Amino acid sequence: MYGYIQPIHSYLAWLALGLIVLSVVAAMLSKSVFKDTYRKIAKFGLITVHIQLLLGLTLYFISPMGFSNLSGETMKDSFTRLLALEHPLMNIIAIILITIGHSQSKKLDDGSKKILIFYTLGLVLLLSRIPWSTWLG
């Protein structure tokens, strides 16, 4: 199972980050070019980060780098700490922010500002805790 979920989580990360960036850009341009299309893009972004959440939570409990690797020793090393603690925790917070932004934007006539603020915050948190060295290395 680990052999399937790890690569899916790794490849879907491209789509998730791409769609969140696109959501922010579409929300910025929503007044002129995009009108209501930003809602659709933001919805696809939300779905993809929720799938990442589900895959990530599963991975956390089956990966040798996740929960089973939590210890005092792990905390001393910045890379093992990133995978066992910082990436999961920070990304859950980021996904909660993105979910709140999407939910609030739906209630408004022009919800693009909510998308802009919450998705940008979420994106910054996500980007701050990606294990870049293994992902791209």
Is residue 16 within the footprint of ligand HEM (CB under 6 A)?
yes
82 counts as binding ligand HEM under rule CB under 6 A: no
Q: Which two tokens stand for residue 98?
A: 């993105």
Task: State which residue has the least CB distance to ligand HEM.
Answer: 56
Q: Is 8 in the site for ligand HEM (CB under 6 A)?
A: no
Main-chain phi, psi angles of 87, to 5 degrees:
-60, -50
Please name which of 1, 53, 13 lies closest in space to residue 136, comparing C-alpha atoms: 13
CA-wise closest residue to 118 among 15, 29, 42: 42
Residues that bind ligand HEM in the complex, under the rule CB under 6 A: 6, 9-10, 13, 16-17, 43, 46-47, 49-54, 56-57, 59-60, 63, 65-66, 83, 87-88, 91-92, 99, 103, 126, 130-131, 134-135
